[in-house]
Amino acid sequence: MDRVVLMLSVMSLGVSSQPITDGQRLFSIAVSRVQHLHLLAQRLFSDFESSLQTEEQPQLNKIFLQDFCNCDYIISPIDKHETQRSSVLKLLSISYRLVESWEFPSRSLSGGSAPRNQISPKLSELKTGIHLLIRANEDGAEIFPDRSALQLAPYGNYYQSLGTDESLRRTYELLACFKKDMHKVETYLTVAKCRLSPEANCTL
């Protein structure tokens, strides 16, 4: 991780003099990181669904559709059109908040397999990279005006003593929300990266 942080820091030094070239490099690293996390989230969710009994999956799907993810409290574009209209700085700020909000819940996704144990360190690397991108692109505006708003509670009662059925439901929700939020961050960072190439078509 230290090597990644050092590499990102060195590259960020030249952003002001060569914003497109160095900015694209920073974005490429961040997009690569979140793509890996999104694929990992999809894999974990798919593996979990495969482990369920035949009658459990429809029940969990029904329950989850009535629920919502904690990160839905973070205001973000409601559709692809609003995403395309959002500024690079706004997309970076939302991405940072989403990644940061998973630092604590992600601990419950660790353990049991090598892929699961990659989640927390890779989230930390991604958060560092997005922070560098924000610093490189901000114009003096306060990006994080209300830090208290970002201190989200753990997902539901996940960390309390749970029965078997409740634990199953919470695990399902946690994995589904993680997959959903990593998809959001991947979309936002990809669009923001595309903005640095004026000739590119950034249509979603």
Crossing angle of helices 56-65 and 164-195, rounded to 10°: 60
> Which token pair is 134?
């924000």
- CATH no. of 22-141+167-196: 1.20.1250.10
The amino acid at 174: L
State the pLDDT at residue 139. 60
Look at residues 171, 175, 167, 204 and name the one whose alpha carbon lies nearest to residue 187: 204
**Lowest model confidence (mean pLDDT) among 4-8, 30-34, 49-53, 119-123:** 4-8
Q: Where are the domains positioned within the chain? A: 22-141+167-196
The secondary structure of 119-174 as a DSSP string is HHHHHHHHHHHHHHHHHHH--S--S-S-GGGG-PPPSTTTTS---HHHHHHHHHHH
Tens of pLDDT, residue by residue over 75-110, are: 899 888 999 889 999 999 999 999 999 988 888 877
Side chain identity at 202, as an amino acid letter? C
Looking at the chain, the whole-number percentage of residues with pLDDT higher than 90 is: 32
Query: Is residue 63 over pLDDT 70?
Result: no
From 151, 157, 152, select the one nearest 173 (Cα to Cα).
157
Does residue 187 or residue 15 have the better pLDDT?
Answer: 187
Token code pair at residue 114: 């090598």
